[in-house]
Amino acid sequence: QSALTQPASVSGSPGQSITISCTGTSSDVGSFNFVSWYQQHPGKAPKLMIYEGIKRPSGVSNRFSGSKSGNTASLTISGLQTEDEGDYYCCSYAGGNTLFGGGTKLSVL
């Protein structure tokens, strides 16, 4: 089982919206509603931002939203802020295993 595919980097200006894609297969993203997204700042542990594809944990800004279509999940961040800069990882249950994406570096210019 290969890692999920994410773009290596995305960028946006403060106030803009960006979307990060996460492409898997019919054996993982396409088959289960257990896709989560994690934010990681340098030197810090990952933080859960979205779970079960579309749900937001309490305390996470409603500027973060998730969606899924077929074998691809997406994370959208609206109203970009400088504090959103960091690495983002998708993660999917794959029937007995769990896979991470390769990660996407978000730059807020």
User: Amino acid identity, residue 81?
Assistant: Q
Q: How far is the CB of 106 from other proteins (least distance, A)?
A: 14
- 93 counts as binding other proteins under rule CB under 8 A: yes
H helices of 1-109, in order, are: none
CB 100 within 8 A of CB 91: yes
Residue entry with tokens 């290596």: 8
- 11 counts as binding other proteins under rule CB under 8 A: no
> Under rule CB under 8 A, which residues in 50-69 are in contact with other proteins?
51-52, 57
Q: How far is the CB of 91 from other proteins (least distance, A)?
A: 8
Interface residue with other proteins among 7, 34, 63, 78 (CB under 8 A) is 34
Nearest residue (CB) to other proteins, 12 versus 46: 46
Cβ-based neighbours of 31, under 8 Å, separated by 6 or more: 95
DSSP β-bridge partners for residue 38: 48, 89
- 91 counts as binding other proteins under rule CB under 8 A: yes
SS3 105: strand
- Output Rg (C-alpha) for the chain, integer angstroms: 13
Binding site for other proteins (CB under 8 A): 1, 3, 32, 34, 36, 38, 40, 45-48, 51-52, 57, 87, 89, 91-93, 96-103
